[in-house]
């Protein structure tokens, strides 16, 4: 990023300059990382992991890249980002092997870390996992919810395993395997919140309910008002795109307003705005039932594990973070 952002920047009072950098540093923010597993040859369990950024500079919207860029612009930008990059809750998740590129530093207290996990998920506390320090400190962990997790057979067409590939023996789940989700959570010693993240796209949003009696929808699906002029019909393809964009925008605006009113969590990255959506508010999503069923089964599983633990002392501590849903889109806040 280069100075000046706008020509009058130099004339601003320091408080305004600081405010500009506070806004630009996107806190609380969202970061994306790949986590690749290395399997132990002896026991067949995950022994080590490798964390790498998800994508390159242009394709990765992670906030650590934005903050690293603005940190060196001037004294004010450096003052604001220092707290996020060097404060007690800062954690370096990745460092480039060579060159001058910045390290990936996150703010553990406030940021969300979205994990793209590659490899089978075993309970790391039962295997001989030795890399807990790499993931320690992270309090908010997210994964992108994918509908195809319900199918336990890997897709041979793409040769990509679903992230929560079920390893249970003689057990078929209706939804994503709760055991695998529980085991995934165990990789994060300090996890406080686990999120399923859903991008608002046309396939992820349920179609709107039928128009109220006596009212008609126009071609964009909007209920006509008295005296409305029928707009010029657009070409079919662009009409579909316009309608899709409108539905996404309306859905997100509604969820964001609810989040604001109820002081729910919101986050940002370079291109997206994220907001927490409660169970009562995610009914507009096509995967609503699936997601809350997985969460329900996960809580049942935790109850069962604790019940067993009272009879047989378990060698490990069970991590039970809060379970939440984050919806996001490229639309920006007001
Ligand atoms: Zn399973």
pLDDT at 1: 47
CA of 331 to the centre of ligand 1 (A): 36
Residue 308: what pLDDT?
A: 83
| Span from the CA of 177 to the centroid of ligand 1 (angstroms) | 4
Report CA(166)–ligand 1 centroid distance (Å): 4
Residue 200 forms part of a structural domain:
yes
- How far apart are the CA of 232 and the centre of ligand 1, in A? 53
The two tokens of residue 226 are 């008295």
pTM of the model: 0.86
CA separation, residue 28 to residues 90, 173, 181, 268 (Å): 13, 35, 25, 7
Can you give the pLDDT at residue 166?
82
Tokens matching residue 216: 């008609």
- Indicate whether 222 belongs to any domain: no
133 C-alpha to ligand 1 centroid (Å): 27
Residue 133, domain extent: 14-211+234-329
In the prediction, which pLDDT does 157 show? 46
For residue 256, tell me if it sits in a domain.
yes
279 CA to middle of ligand 1, Å?
Answer: 24
Which pLDDT value is given to residue 217? 58
Query: How far is ligand 1, taken at its centre, from the CA of residue 195, in Å?
Result: 19
Residues in the chain where the model's pLDDT stays below 50: 1-2, 150, 152, 155-159, 334
* Domain-located, residue 228: no
Q: How far is the CA of 172 from the centre of ligand 1 (A)?
A: 7
Cα of 15 to ligand 1 centre, how many Å? 54
Residue 7 covered by a domain = no
CB atoms within 10 A of CB 89: 14
3-class SS at 107?
A: strand
68 touches 107 (CB < 8 A): no
Report the domain count for the chain.
Answer: 1
Measured in angstroms, how far is the CA atom of residue 173 from the centroid of ligand 1?
6
In this structure, is residue 225 part of a structural domain? no
Q: How far is CA 18 from the centre of its chain?
A: 28
Distance 120 CA to ligand 1 centre (A): 12
Q: What local confidence, expressed as pLDDT, does residue 158 receive?
A: 46
Q: How far is the centre of ligand 1, averaged over its atoms, from the C-alpha of 164 (Å)?
A: 9
Pair 181, 312: CB distance under 8 Å: no
**Domain membership flag for residue 1:** no
Query: Does 221 reside within a domain?
Result: no
- The one-character DSSP state at 110 is T
């Amino acid at each position: 990023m280069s100075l000046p952002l706008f020509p009058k920047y130099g004339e601003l009072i320091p408080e305004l300059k600081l405010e500009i950098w506070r806004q630009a540093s996107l806190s609380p923010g969202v970061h994306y990382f790949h986590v690749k597993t290395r399997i132990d040859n002896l026991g067949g369990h995950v022994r080590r992991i490798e964390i790498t950024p998800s994508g390159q500079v242009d394709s990765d919207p992670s906030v650590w890249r934005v903050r690293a860029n603005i940190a060196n612009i001037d004294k004010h930008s450096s003052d604001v980002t220092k707290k996020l990059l060097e404060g007690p809750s800062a954690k370096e998740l990745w460092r480039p092997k060579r060159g001058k590129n910045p390290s990936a530093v996150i703010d553990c207290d406030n940021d969300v870390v979205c994990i793209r996990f590659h490899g089978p998920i075993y309970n790391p506390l039962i295997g001989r996992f030795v890399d807990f320090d790499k993931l320690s400190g992270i309090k908010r962990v997210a994964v992108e919810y994918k509908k195809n997790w319900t199918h336990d057979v890997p897709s041979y067409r793409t040769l990509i395993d679903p992230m929560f590939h079920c390893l249970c023996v003689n057990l078929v789940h209706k939804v994503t395997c709760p055991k695998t989700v529980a085991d995934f959570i165990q990789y994060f010693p300090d996890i406080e919140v686990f999120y399923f993240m859903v991008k608002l796209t046309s396939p992820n949003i349920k179609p709107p309910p039928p128009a109220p009696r006596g009212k008609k929808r126009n071609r964009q699906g909007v209920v006509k008002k008295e005296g409305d002029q029928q707009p010029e019909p657009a070409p079919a393809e662009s009409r579909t795109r316009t309608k899709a964009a409108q539905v996404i925008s309306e859905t997100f605006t509604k969820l964001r307003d609810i989040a604001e009113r109820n002081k729910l969590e919101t986050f940002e990255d370079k291109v997206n705005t994220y907001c927490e959506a409660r169970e009562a508010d995610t009914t507009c999503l096509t995967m609503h039932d699936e997601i809350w069923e997985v969460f329900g089964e996960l809580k049942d599983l935790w109850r069962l594990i604790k019940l067993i633990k009272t009879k047989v002392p378990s060698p490990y501590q069970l991590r039970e973070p809060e379970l939440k849903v984050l919806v996001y889109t490229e639309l920006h806040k007001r």
